[in-house]
């Protein structure tokens, strides 16, 4: 059976072991629509305008449905149908930004090296520019002020130029060439494509100050403009201070985005191949070269290089890399281990189940990096402003110099124009969202919480309602038979019920079968098995028609040849942290509900133990009713809360997939090796309900930081541009503007790092 949610495009795949008669939509998986998903490495982007240009170029290609370009990590993520990677890369390159598709999943060591090299190269580039510019500007500035007091600027006669002026000209020219080259190349590339970017403002501002000073410098040969000050040092200062700001930004970005690098460091570079039949010495190979079926020796204290199954040995394994839980778990023959886990005590022989390039660590790191590169809806405002901001500033700068010229003070107009161009550069606007998203997604991954995109992070931060599935989510998911009420022999009733339940893998069915096994009952085979959606199952056992149906007073009733012979009550234990998780969510102002297909009495019994009121429980819901319930809350939640919010549905990643798809945000509880990590908006460890509250808290703090950053960026530009245009910053306005622009970047970066520290403290 295939079903499509009306509120969200999602494909629901029916598992062959569906057992809907207990009210659970079993075996369904919430997956993304089919289509191409490509990642490109893009070089040369320096600001939000660059990213916007690249994004527009990608979205102009046929078949592209969505593109997300991140200036911080230099990547473009493209989604669509029938995409041509080479054509898209060529289009990006034609717009001045060399690009190449990243086709294969690189080895962990290669990916880690790529990230480190990119960060190191970016930081070194700006460090070199900043050192050159600052080391020239500072002495020149000092000499300038000393020279003014000592009269060193004075020339021997009216038609000559003092040696200090020559020194200022030569020094600023060196800075323009050495530190300004990158700005000019970026601005020129944009201009050739008929666009502008942040570097356009920097290049025009620095050039205007330099050219104005050069005109005055040459005029002095003819005895003109002797009293007009030169702004050579201001031009050098502008490039030096902005380069310094970019250097600090590069260092802070590497620090804020360290989550992916730290994840990749968890997987060792080498693995030990166990000797055949225990003879000979272990052989070391690169982890990337491990193939499925290879048997690996994992020594005490060593990390597991790839996902696998224990063949021999027994040990406690720390799986905090996946689950976020630092308490080691016991692993013996037949148990699964995950790449990056730490073998704490005994020695293990593990058979690899994946190759070294597709381990859980690599997949998690890839998804975290993808999340950090994605964009939240709130960033659309920043992107839109950035796309029109530079042309608007150029018009304001032109109006400024024209206005001052009309007022009769062209010199002051040139200075005001330069100040406007410099102080309005919206670099902070481009950093506001990605820096915070990078920190939030990274902090979540360290707790075993995988946030798949910036939009998921934003939705979680705005959520007003959380709806939990019961079985396997709020409860352990391993129900046991608690009571049997039979008109005849209990064992006969249980034997027939177990026979009819054997074909099913539903937790309640397994509980019945397990109870029969514990009593050593001889369970006969079933024929003509049939599932009745929303009601139960039916089959023929020992020549009799046996039905196991939903019951109002118990979990199910057993009917033989049309006559009820008794009932079975199955109970499930709540997860240890379920009550505290619900209390924390309520304390955060969220409305919490439980959605269950079980009878009301059983659902309310569980609800009472986890502090849910009867009116917060929706019981006896069929799969279709679950979807309808979630959709009704999804449509009503924003109006009920009075703010734009949404509904989170929490399930086990397999159950209730249609309900997960119907919600604004689906959270799957699944182990890191489960396929569910590929299919949900957010994935949390399978045994930690408390992670739902942690995810919401991280999302809220991240969203708050984004809003603060955007406020800083908008407020800064709104206040600074008028002050610069009216000349309120004085003759040294360009210098103050360069310092102020750097300060705005530092404010945004500092706020992101403050968020990182706060999230680390709240663990």
Q: What is the CATH number of the domain that holds 650?
A: 3.40.50.1000
2 pLDDT band (50/70/90 cuts)?
very low
Q: Give the containing element (helix H, strand E) for 57.
A: helix 48-59
Q: What is the C-alpha separation between 421 and 201, in angstroms, rounded? A: 5
Q: Which two tokens stand for residue 558?
A: 């057993």
Confirm whether 372 is domain-assigned.
no
CA atoms within 13 A on the CB side of 143: 18
Are 130 and 248 found together in one domain? yes
Rounded average pLDDT over 122-149: 82
- What domain range includes position 394? 378-449+692-763
Q: Give the containing element (helix H, strand E) for 506.
A: none
Q: Which two tokens stand for residue 167?
A: 């020194």
Mark which of 531, 556, 571 sits at the end of a domain: 571
Rounded average pLDDT over 258-266: 64
Q: How far from chain centre, in Å, is Cα 409?
A: 52
Name which residue leads in pLDDT, 563 or 364: 563
Confirm whether 6 is domain-assigned.
no
- Taking CA atoms, 449 is separated from 519, 685, 695, 699, in Å, by 41, 7, 7, 11
Per the CB < 8 A criterion, the answer to whether 307 and 360 are in contact is yes
Are 113 and 208 found together in one domain? yes
**Positive/negative CA dihedral, 221, 224, 226, 228:** negative
Q: What is the C-alpha separation between 503 and 529, in angstroms, rounded? A: 8
Confirm whether 517 is domain-assigned.
yes
Q: How far from chain centre, in Å, is Cα 679?
A: 15
Q: What is the C-alpha separation between 451 and 456, in angstroms, rounded? A: 7
Residue 267's SS3 state is coil
pLDDT of residue 349: 92
Name which residue leads in pLDDT, 719 or 534: 719
Confirm whether 325 is domain-assigned.
yes
Closest to 736 (Cα-Cα) out of 258, 238, 402: 238
Per the CB < 8 A criterion, the answer to whether 745 and 249 are in contact is yes
Mean of per-residue pLDDT scores for the chain: 78
pLDDT of residue 383: 62
pLDDT of residue 31: 36
Length of the chain in residues, anyone?
763
Q: What is the C-alpha separation between 548 and 542, in angstroms, rounded? A: 15
pLDDT of residue 145: 73
Mark which of 104, 127, 146 sits at the end of a domain: 104
Confirm whether 11 is domain-assigned.
no
Q: Which two tokens stand for residue 343?
A: 């073998």
pLDDT of residue 14: 28
Are 522 and 585 found together in one domain? no
Percent residues over pLDDT 90 in the chain: 17
- How many CB atoms lie under 10 A from the CB of residue 265? 17
Per the CB < 8 A criterion, the answer to whether 244 and 744 are in contact is no
Residue 533 sits in a domain of what CATH number? Answer: 3.40.1110.10
Q: Give the containing element (helix H, strand E) for 31.
A: strand 29-31
Rounded average pLDDT over 736-751: 75
pLDDT of residue 494: 93
- Catalogue the active-site residues: 469
Are 193 and 220 found together in one domain? yes
Bridge partner residues of 13 (DSSP):
29
Name which residue leads in pLDDT, 683 or 104: 683
Confirm whether 279 is domain-assigned.
yes
Q: Which of 370-384, 529-543, 612-626 has the lowest mean pLDDT?
A: 370-384
Report the alpha-carbon angle 700-701-705, nearest 5.
Answer: 115
Give φ, ψ of 376 to 5 degrees: -85, 160
CA atoms within 13 A on the CB side of 402: 6
Q: Which two tokens stand for residue 229?
A: 């000050």
Per the CB < 8 A criterion, the answer to whether 659 and 469 are in contact is yes
Q: Which two tokens stand for residue 71?
A: 């200036």
Bridge partner residues of 486 (DSSP):
566
Rounded average pLDDT over 383-397: 77
Confirm whether 22 is domain-assigned.
no
Are 459 and 579 found together in one domain? yes
Report the alpha-carbon angle 99-102-103, nearest 5.
Answer: 135
pLDDT of residue 263: 65
- The position carrying tokens 């079903």 is 3
pLDDT at 25 over 50: no
Residue 89 sits in a domain of what CATH number? Answer: 3.30.70.100
Q: How far from chain centre, in Å, is Cα 571?
A: 38
pLDDT of residue 495: 92
Q: Which of 12-16, 592-596, 707-711 has the lowest mean pLDDT?
A: 12-16
Could you tell me whether strands 682-684 and 665-669 are parallel, antiparallel, or unpaired per DSSP bridges?
parallel
Are 209 and 194 found together in one domain? yes
Closest to 533 (Cα-Cα) out of 628, 649, 625, 668: 625
Report pLDDT digits (tens) over 300-335: 988 898 989 999 998 988 876 665 555 688 888 988
Confirm whether 401 is domain-assigned.
yes
Are 137 and 236 found together in one domain? yes
Are 456 and 486 found together in one domain? no
- Taking CA atoms, 231 is separated from 155, 201, 206, 728, 735, in Å, by 18, 17, 10, 17, 9
Are 77 and 45 found together in one domain? yes
Per the CB < 8 A criterion, the answer to whether 401 and 711 are in contact is no
Among 90-99, 199-208, 656-665, which range has the highest average pLDDT? 90-99
pLDDT at 613 over 90: yes
Per the CB < 8 A criterion, the answer to whether 170 and 161 are in contact is no
Q: How many domains does the chain have?
A: 6
pLDDT at 592 over 90: yes
Q: Which two tokens stand for residue 391?
A: 């042309």
Q: Which of 438-452, 568-582, 735-749 has the lowest mean pLDDT?
A: 735-749
Are 116 and 210 found together in one domain? yes
126 pLDDT band (50/70/90 cuts)?
confident
Report pLDDT digits (tens) over 631-687: 888 876 554 444 446 899 998 755 566 777 788 888 888 754 454 455 568 888 777
Name which residue leads in pLDDT, 623 or 648: 648
Q: Which two tokens stand for residue 122?
A: 């970016």
Among 70-74, 249-253, 417-421, 466-470, which range has the highest average pLDDT? 466-470
pLDDT at 574 over 60: yes
Report pLDDT digits (tens) over 332-355: 898 888 888 888 888 899 999 988
- Taking CA atoms, 195 is separated from 57, 387, 498, in Å, by 12, 9, 71
Closest to 484 (Cα-Cα) out of 472, 471, 496: 496
Q: 508-513: which pairs have CB atoms within 8 A and are 24 or more residues apart?
A: 508/19, 508/22, 508/479, 508/555, 508/556, 508/570, 509/19, 509/22, 511/478, 511/479, 511/480, 511/481, 511/570, 512/481, 512/548, 512/568, 512/570
Are 607 and 470 found together in one domain? yes
Mark which of 684, 701, 721 sits at the end of a domain: 684
pLDDT of residue 45: 78
pLDDT of residue 4: 29
pLDDT of residue 6: 30
**Positive/negative CA dihedral, 393, 394, 400, 403:** negative
- The position carrying tokens 């397990």 is 514
Are 232 and 212 found together in one domain? yes
Q: Name every residue whose Cβ is closer than 8 Å to that of residue 367 and which is 6 or more positions away in sequence.
A: 450, 452, 677
Bridge partner residues of 547 (DSSP):
538, 559
Q: What is the C-alpha separation between 712 and 728, in angstroms, rounded? A: 21
pLDDT at 399 over 90: yes
């Amino acid at each position: 059976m295939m079903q499509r949610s009306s509120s969200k495009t999602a494909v629901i795949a029916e598992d062959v072991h569906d057992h809907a008669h207990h009210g659970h939509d079993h075996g369904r998986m919430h997956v993304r629509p089919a289509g191409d998903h490509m990642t490109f490495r893009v070089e040369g982007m320096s600001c939000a305008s660059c990213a916007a240009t690249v994004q527009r170029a990608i979205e102009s290609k046929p078949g592209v449905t969505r593109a997300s370009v991140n200036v911080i990590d230099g990547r473009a993520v493209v989604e669509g149908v029938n995409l041509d990677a080479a054509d898209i890369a060529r289009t990006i390159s034609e717009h001045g930004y060399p690009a190449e598709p990243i086709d294969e999943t690189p080895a962990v060591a290669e990916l880690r090296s790529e990230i480190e090299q990119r960060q190191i190269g970016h930081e070194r580039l700006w460090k070199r520019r900043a050192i050159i510019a600052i080391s020239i500007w500072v002495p020149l500035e000092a000499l300038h002020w000393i020279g003014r007091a000592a009269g060193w600027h004075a020339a021997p006669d009216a038609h000559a130029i003092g040696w200090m002026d020559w020194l200022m000209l030569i020094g600023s020219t060196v800075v323009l060439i050495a530190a300004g080259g990158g700005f000019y190349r970026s601005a020129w590339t944009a201009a050739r494509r008929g666009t502008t970017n942040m570097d356009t403002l920097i290049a025009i501002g620095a050039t205007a100050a330099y050219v104005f000073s050069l005109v005055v410098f040459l005029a002095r040969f003819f005895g003109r403009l002797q009293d007009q000050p030169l702004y050579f040092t201001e031009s050098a200062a502008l490039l030096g201070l902005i380069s310094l700001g970019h250097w600090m930004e590069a260092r802070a970005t590497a620090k804020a985005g360290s989550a992916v690098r730290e994840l990749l460091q968890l997987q060792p570079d080498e693995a030990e191949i166990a000797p055949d039949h225990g003879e000979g010495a272990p052989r070391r190979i690169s982890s990337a070269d491990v193939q499925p079926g290879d048997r690996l020796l994992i020594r005490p204290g060593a990390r597991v290089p790839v996902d696998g199954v224990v063949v021999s040995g027994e040990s406690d394994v720390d799986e905090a890399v996946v689950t976020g839980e630092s308490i080691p778990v016991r692993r013996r023959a037949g148990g699964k281990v995950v790449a990056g886990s730490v073998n704490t005590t005994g020695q293990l022989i593990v058979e690899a189940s994946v190759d070294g390039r597709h381990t859980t660590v690599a997949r998690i790191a890839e998804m975290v990096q993808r999340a950090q590169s994605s964009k939240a809806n709130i960033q659309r405002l920043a992107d839109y402003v950035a796309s029109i901001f530079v042309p608007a500033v150029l018009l304001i700068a032109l109006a400024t110099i024209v206005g001052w010229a009309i007022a009769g003070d062209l010199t002051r107009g040139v200075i005001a124009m330069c100040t406007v161009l410099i102080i309005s550069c919206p670099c902070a606007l481009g950093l506001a969202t990605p820096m915070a998203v990078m920190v939030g997604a990274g902090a979540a991954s360290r707790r075993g919480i995988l946030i798949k995109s910036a939009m998921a992070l934003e939705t979680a931060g705005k959520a007003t309602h959380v709806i939990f599935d019961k079985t396997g989510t709020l409860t352990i998911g391993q129900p046991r038979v608690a009571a049997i009420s039979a008109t005849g022999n209990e064992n006969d009733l249980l034997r027939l019920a177990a026979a009819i339940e054997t074909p099913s893998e539903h937790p309640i069915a397994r509980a019945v079968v397990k109870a029969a096994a514990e009593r050593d009952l001889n369970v006969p085979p079933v024929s003509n098995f049939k599932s009745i959606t929303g009601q139960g199952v039916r089959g023929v056992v020992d020549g009799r028609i046996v039905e196991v149906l939903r019951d109002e007073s118990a979990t199910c009733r057993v009917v033989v040849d049309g006559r009820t012979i008794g009932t079975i009550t199955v109970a499930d234990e709540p997860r240890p942290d379920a009550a505290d998780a619900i209390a924390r969510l309520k304390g955060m102002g969220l409305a919490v509900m439980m959605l269950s297909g079980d009878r009301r009495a059983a659902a309310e019994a569980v609800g009472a133990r986890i502090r849910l009121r009867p009116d917060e429980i929706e019981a006896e819901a069929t799969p279709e009713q679950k979807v309808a319930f979630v959709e009704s809350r999804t449509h009503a939640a924003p109006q009920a809360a009075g703010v734009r919010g949404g509904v989170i549905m929490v399930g086990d990643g397999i159950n209730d997939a249609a309900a997960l798809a119907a919600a604004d945000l689906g959270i799957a509880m699944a182990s890191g090796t489960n396929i569910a990590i590929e299919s949900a908006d957010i994935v949390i460890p399978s045994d930690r309900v408390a992670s739902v509250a942690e995810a919401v808290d991280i999302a809220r703090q991240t969203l708050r930081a984004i809003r603060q950053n955007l406020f800083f960026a908008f407020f800064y530009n709104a206040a600074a541009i008028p002050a610069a245009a009216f000349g309120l910053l004085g003759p040294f306005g360009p210098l103050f503007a360069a310092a102020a622009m750097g300060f705005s970047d530092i404010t945004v970066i500092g706020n992101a790092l403050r968020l990182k520290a706060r999230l680390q403290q709240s663990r």
